[in-house]
Structure 1
C-alpha cells in the first residue's frame, strides 16, 4: 500500500531517518542521484540549467548538477541565493562547476527546478516568478514539487508555479502530486526510494494494493444467492436508463442476483431491455420494504426523480439493513434537509456525489476546505458514512479518517451515465460483503481503468462490458499478504 504524506509527515519521516543514524547529507545525495538518473533515463545528453534555491531543495539540485557533470553533460547552476542550510551548504561545496545568478540568459535544453520544495508557503516573486511563467513545461524537471505549488493542497500560490514534464519526489507522493490542479503541474511523477523506511498515514493512493486482498472472489461452492443480492431503484418510465446502467454494473462486478425495482408504469420499458437482470414492480413504501427485505445492498438515486417519493424510498431502504449506495437524485432531494439524510445512514452506506451534489448536501464545505481530501473527510464524519467525491482526482473518505485518492482517473469517463455505472459497481461489491470503504475504492479504480482502457468514444453503455477484462487482470495478480 502506498501512503500519501503531507509536508509535515514527510518532514517527520526525514527527521526520523536522521535520528536513526542516516545523515541528512546522505539522504540529499540519494535524492540528487535519483533525479539525475531519471533525467538520464529520459533524455540524451544536452545542456542543463539547474536552478537552485537556498534550502535543501536547492541542495538536491547541486547534487544533480554534480552527477550530470560527472557523466559528461554540459550543466551549470543558477542560484537564487547562497545555500542557507547545513546540508545545502555541504552539497554546494562539492559542486565544482559554474554557478551564475538565477535567470542568466543562456540557451538550455532542460531546466531542473530545485528552487523550492513542497513546504513553500509564500508565492514566487521576482526572477523566479518570471521564469515560472516563461519556461516551457516540456523543458522542466522539478525536484519534489514544481516551485510555487503548495505541497499540501496542490494549489499554485498566487497562481504562479512552474509546470513540469517530470517531477521526481522522494519516499511517498504528497497531496500536490495527486490533487488537481497540482497533478497537472507535476507532469509525470516518479517516486524515488531514498531509504526512509515504512511510514504510516491515513491517506493512501487508491490502487489494488489497498483492497485486492479483500476482493470478494467467489469460492468453488458459490451460488447466485451466496454471491450477493443487489437491488436498484428505478425512476419513472421516461427515466429508466440510469437504473439499468447501475444494475448492469453491479451484475458485471460479481453480484449474484441483481433486481431492478420499478414503478409499475416503467415495467414494460425495463422488460424490453433487461435479460440477466431481474425486474420487479413496487408501488409505495410498504411494497418497497417487502421487495427489499432480502437485499444485501441497494442503489438509489440514478434518475430516481427529485421527489418526495425518492426521499421516502431512501428512508424505507435505510430500515432494511441493506448497505446503501446513495447517488444523484437521492442526494439532491435532501438539499434542504441534509440532516434527515445523515440520520438515516449508517457506516456501511456510501454517498457518491459529484461536486455539485456535494455542495447541495454539504453547503460551503468544499469551497471553505483547503483541498478535496479535507472536504471529503469532514463530509464522511458529518454524514457517518463513506463519501466518494467524484472528479479527475476522486477522493474516497471514511468517518474514521481513512482516505484514498484515485490516480487513474480518465477524461473519457466525463459522459452521461458514467456515474450510474460506478454506483452499480460499488453496490455490486457491497452486495458481496466487501467492506464499504474498500468497495468504494475498488469500484472507483475498476471504473477508471475501464474508461481509460476504452479511450475516445466511450459511452456509459460500454462500461459494464469492459469490467470483466479488468477483473481478469485483478484475478491474475499475485496474492497480497
Structure 2
C-alpha cells in the first residue's frame, strides 16, 4: 500500500481495534484517544449547528465513553445537555468509566422521554463493531428517534449499522452527520450504510498512520490516488497503434449499446476502436459512426477473421448481444485469443446454464461487469456484497465489477475497491454499456484489469456527477474530456 492510498484504506472493525491497540502500545493512552474522539465530534457539531438543546445517548461500551466526552465538552461550551445511559453506570469499565467520572453530572436512564425538547441528538449507543440486532430499550429509543425525525449526529456509525457490511442490524436511525475516527470502514461506503451515515467526517484522533503497515488491509474506497500513477497518460512519442486497438462486438437488434460502448472506449484513450457488426445491420453502424471503424462479421458470427488482426489487443462483448449460443461462441473465441477481454450484460448471462464453461475459459486478463441480476445467474456465492464480489472473482479468475450505487471491484487475489461517487442519475438504460467501454479502452492501453476497472468505474461516476440532472447514457462519453482534464490537472499540481 503506497502513501497515497493510506487515506482510502477501509478498515474492518477488527482491524480498527488492532489500530487502537497498536496506537496504545506506541504510547498513546486509551483515555487520550477517547478524549480526542469526543472532542472531534464536538468540533464537527459546532461547525454545523448553533447552540441548542442536545440529548446524548450513551451505550455501555467505548462508544458510550465517547458520548460522555461529547456531553462534557458541549456542556462546558454552553450547550444545554441531557445524557441518557443504556444500562447501569456501575457496569462501565476502563476508559469509559474514567470519562463518566469526568462528566460528573446527571445520568438518566435510557427512555423515549429523553428526546422531548431535544433539537439535536448525539447517537453514541453502539459503534461499528455491533454484531447483533438492537432490541429492548436500545431498539425502542432508535424507533422513537426515527419517528421524531430529529437531527442526529452519530458517533462512529448510526447505532444498529454493521461497520463491516453496511447492513442494518434490526433498526438504525439515519444521521445528518456521522463522525468516525482514523479511517472509514466498509460499512461507511456500502449501501445502505453510506446513505444512513449522512455527511461523513473522518477525524484524526492521534493514531499514527504507521500502524497501517502491520494490518492486512485488502479493501479501499475508490479514488484516483489508488491507480492514477498507472493511468495511461498520452506521451508525445506514441502513435495510435501504441495506444491500443479495441474491438467492440455489436449486436443485431440493440445497436445503440455497442455504439455507446465504442465511443466510451475511444474517449478513454484507445488509439483505435472498431465495431464488429453483423452484416445485415452493418449500414446502421457505419452510417452513425465516424471515428469508429465498422467491420462486417461473417454471417456465421465467427470472429476468427476479425481477430486475425494482431493489432487488436482488447475485446468487449455483451452490449446488445442477446442471450444465445452465438454470444457464447463469440465469448469463448475472444477468451481463447489471448486478448484482454471485458464481458458485460448478455455475454455473462449467456452462461447462466453453465457458468463453469465460462470460468474455465478465463485464462488471461478479463473483467466481468454484471449487475445483481446478471451476477446471480452465474455465481452461487454467499455473504454481503463485498464478500460476494471477492468470492466471485476468486471463482472465475476474473476481476468482477458488481455494479450498483456501491459498485464493488474485486480481484481474484482478494483485493477489493468500493466506489462511492456514483449519483442516482446513472440508473438509466445504457450507462452500463458506457462503463464497459471505458474499462475496455483503458485495458487496450495496457492498464491492468483491476486498475482499469477501478478507474473506469470512478470516471463513469464522476462524469455523471458533473453532468447533473437530466443525464442519459449518451451524455457520458462527451463528459470524459472534462473529467480527465480535472483529474490530470489535480495530479500534475501535486
TM range (shorter): over 0.9
Counterpart residue number, 1:95: 103
What CA distance in whole angstroms lies between the structure 2 residues aligned with 1:20 and 1:120?
27
| Aligned-pair CA distance for 1:347 | 4.9
Counterpart residue number, 1:149: 161
| Aligned-pair CA distance for 1:214 | 0.9
Sort the Cα spacing of 1:148 and 1:286 in 2 relative to 1 into closer, same or farther, 3 A.
closer
Contact (CA 8 Å) 1:112, 1:142: kept in 2 or not? yes
Q: Does 2:256 correspond to 1:256? A: no
| Aligned-pair CA distance for 1:289 | 5.0
Q: Does 2:229 correspond to 1:213? A: yes
| Aligned-pair CA distance for 1:137 | 5.0
Q: Does 2:97 correspond to 1:85? A: no
Partner SS for 1:285? coil
Q: Does 2:382 correspond to 1:361? A: no
The aligned runs of 1:259-270 (5 Å cut-off) are: 259-270=274-285
| Aligned-pair CA distance for 1:306 | 1.0
Partner SS for 1:460? coil
Once the two structures are superposed, what CA deviation does each residue of 1:150-169 show, in whole Å capped at 9, x if it has no partner?
A: 111211113x1222111111
Once the two structures are superposed, what CA deviation does each residue of 1:149-196 show, in whole Å capped at 9, x if it has no partner?
A: 1111211113x1222111111111112111111112111111111122
Counterpart residue number, 2:72: 66
| Aligned-pair CA distance for 1:80 | 1.3
What CA distance in whole angstroms lies between the structure 2 residues aligned with 1:292 and 1:337?
30
Sort the Cα spacing of 1:394 and 1:303 in 2 relative to 1 into closer, same or farther, 3 A.
same
What CA distance in whole angstroms lies between the structure 2 residues aligned with 1:196 and 1:226?
46
Partner SS for 1:38? helix
Provide the aligned C-alpha RMSD in A. 1.5
Sort the Cα spacing of 1:89 and 1:271 in 2 relative to 1 into closer, same or farther, 3 A.
same
| Aligned-pair CA distance for 1:454 | 1.5
| Aligned-pair CA distance for 1:132 | 1.1
Contact (CA 8 Å) 2:269, 2:442: kept in 1 or not? yes
Sort the Cα spacing of 1:254 and 1:111 in 2 relative to 1 into closer, same or farther, 3 A.
same
Contact (CA 8 Å) 2:244, 2:311: kept in 1 or not? no
**TM-score, normalized by length of structure 1?**
0.96
The aligned runs of 1:158-173 (5 Å cut-off) are: 158=170, 160-173=171-184
Partner SS for 1:226? helix
What CA distance in whole angstroms lies between the structure 2 residues aligned with 1:49 and 1:97?
14
What CA distance in whole angstroms lies between the structure 1 residues aligned with 2:189 and 2:173?
16
What CA distance in whole angstroms lies between the structure 2 residues aligned with 1:138 and 1:189?
18
The aligned runs of 1:19-30 (5 Å cut-off) are: 19-30=25-36
| Aligned-pair CA distance for 1:478 | 3.0
Counterpart residue number, 1:427: 440
Counterpart residue number, 1:245: 260
Partner SS for 1:382? helix
**TM-score, normalized by length of structure 2?**
0.93
Structure 2's unaligned 5+ residue stretches are none
What CA distance in whole angstroms lies between the structure 2 residues aligned with 1:16 and 1:247?
50
| Aligned-pair CA distance for 1:99 | 2.1
Partner SS for 2:183? coil
What CA distance in whole angstroms lies between the structure 2 residues aligned with 1:62 and 1:288?
72
Contact (CA 8 Å) 1:31, 1:60: kept in 2 or not? yes
Q: Does 2:417 correspond to 1:404? A: yes
The aligned runs of 1:58-457 (5 Å cut-off) are: 58-81=64-87, 82=89, 84-103=92-111, 104-105=113-114, 106-135=116-145, 136-158=148-170, 160-198=171-209, 199=212, 200=215, 201-236=217-252, 238-283=253-298, 284-285=301-302, 287-288=304-305, 290-291=307-308, 293-363=310-380, 365=381, 368-369=382-383, 371-457=384-470
What CA distance in whole angstroms lies between the structure 1 residues aligned with 2:13 and 2:343?
34
Greater shift, 126-135 or 201-210, is seen at 126-135
Partner SS for 2:142? helix
Sort the Cα spacing of 1:347 and 1:378 in 2 relative to 1 into closer, same or farther, 3 A.
farther
Contact (CA 8 Å) 2:57, 2:83: kept in 1 or not? yes
Once the two structures are superposed, what CA deviation does each residue of 1:270-305 show, in whole Å capped at 9, x if it has no partner?
A: 011001111111214254453553212111000112
Sort the Cα spacing of 1:266 and 1:18 in 2 relative to 1 into closer, same or farther, 3 A.
same
Contact (CA 8 Å) 2:110, 2:141: kept in 1 or not? no
Sort the Cα spacing of 1:42 and 1:312 in 2 relative to 1 into closer, same or farther, 3 A.
same
Partner SS for 2:439? helix
What CA distance in whole angstroms lies between the structure 1 residues aligned with 2:492 and 2:386?
29
Structure 1's unaligned 5+ residue stretches are none
Contact (CA 8 Å) 1:347, 1:386: kept in 2 or not? no
What CA distance in whole angstroms lies between the structure 2 residues aligned with 1:69 and 1:148?
27
